[in-house]
Amino acid sequence: MARPWRVRERASFASLRRSGARRRVGPLSVTRLAPEAGGSPVPAVAYAIGRPVGGAVERNRLRRRLRAIIAEVDLAPGTYLVGAGPAAAALSQQELRALVQAGVA
């Protein structure tokens, strides 16, 4: 399975905010934009980990954990924005994986 692309364009973030379907699962939120609505024809993922999660080290650690999980999950084509709240950093890898899978399903 290929790794998802990264979302880098400002227009993609604006489209996610404007037209994306948002799903909240515990401390995670997953916003998805389908390809026909302007999303990517292949899975493309961005991450939003805010300062309330902790310092840069904690935020980057959580981002790396989420990237590893997303690489293992079978994503449908589209653009995704995965956001995490402070409680996500304290979750085990299995708990985090279950939440991500529920969020992208």
Greatest pairwise CA separation for the chain in angstroms: 37
Instruction: Please report, to the nearest 10 degrees, the dihedral formed by the alpha carbons of residues 87, 31, 77, 105 taken in order.
Output: 60
Pair of tokens at residue 17:
């905010």
Burial (CB count within 10 angstroms: exposed 0-12, middle 13-18, buried 19+), residue 78: buried
Question: 5-104: which CATH number, 3.30.830.10, 3.30.230.10, 3.30.420.40, 3.30.420.10?
Answer: 3.30.230.10
Flag the least confident range among 6-15, 26-35, 55-64, 75-84.
Answer: 6-15
Interval 44-100: pLDDT, tens: 999 999 999 999 999 999 999 999 999 999 899 999 999 999 999 999 999 999 999
Closest alpha carbon to 39 in 69, 72, 79: 79
What's the token pair of residue 23?
A: 């799903």
